[in-house]
Amino acid sequence: MLVTGASSGIGAAVCRVLLQEGYAVIGLSRNIKASHFDHPGFTPMACDLRDYDALESQIKSLLKSGIELTGAIFCAGAGYFGSLEQLDFKKIQALIELNLLSPIFLSKLLVPHFKRRKRGHLIYLGSEAALQGAKNGTAYCASKFGLRGFVQSLCAESRASGLSISLINPGMVDTAFFDQLYFQPGEDRNNKITPETIAACVNSIIQTESNTVIEEINLSPRNKVIAFKP
């Protein structure tokens, strides 16, 4: 299994669950080492998902190596929020490139491989921001709405080829995603989803019988509370 954003947060939790389930895992991240996971089944791949030329070269080399790649989990992402007039052009571009363009480009490189195998799981981490636009979320919602449309279209294109394409849309997850933001989930455990919950959901999708495709799952914390930082 290939996992993007593997060095922390949801991506790291997904790697741990997959390794526990006996899968060989290739973890992609800009800064990742084998020491992130003390497990013989883990292979790190340092990669900047926004460097598309390097990404293409690395993925093509990986596929030519003969490795048995059975699926890909797209966990990498970032958040950038504020009223539109406050947003910086370069940060908007970086956000769209990471959240939307990189999974599209990576999928383009991987889908032919899975279609030749006539099977494979591609699971994308979306967001509740893909379901409803929100104040101060113009750039982020645009990236996640775009990802949702891409995944829905890819699912329609790939169903007859044996691929399973799924999208998970979580609400606020308790990760470092919020470290550089002006808000975060409330402190109560019911105000946030754990990365382990998302990882369990990923594993459940993978374990689903091949005659069934789970197209989309929406996950929300029990109580939605946003805490604004001082």
pLDDT tens digits, one per residue of 167-208: 999 999 999 999 989 999 999 999 999 999 999 999 999 999
52-64 and 102-117 helices, crossing angle to 10°: 20
pLDDT of 33 reads 75
pLDDT digits over 14-50, tens only?
999 999 999 999 999 988 876 678 899 999 999 999 9
Closest by CA position to 77, among listed 98, 53, 91:
98
1-21 average pLDDT score: 96
Pairing of strands 2-4, 71-74: parallel
Overall fold of domain 2-228: Rossmann fold (3.40.50)
pLDDT attached to residue 35? 65
Tokens of 198: 């998302």
SS (H, E, C) 29-56: ECCCCHHHCCCCCEEEEECCCCCHHHHH
Q: State pTM to two decimals.
A: 0.95
Q: What percent of the chain has pLDDT over 90?
A: 93
Cα 159 from Cα 164, distance rounded (Å): 7
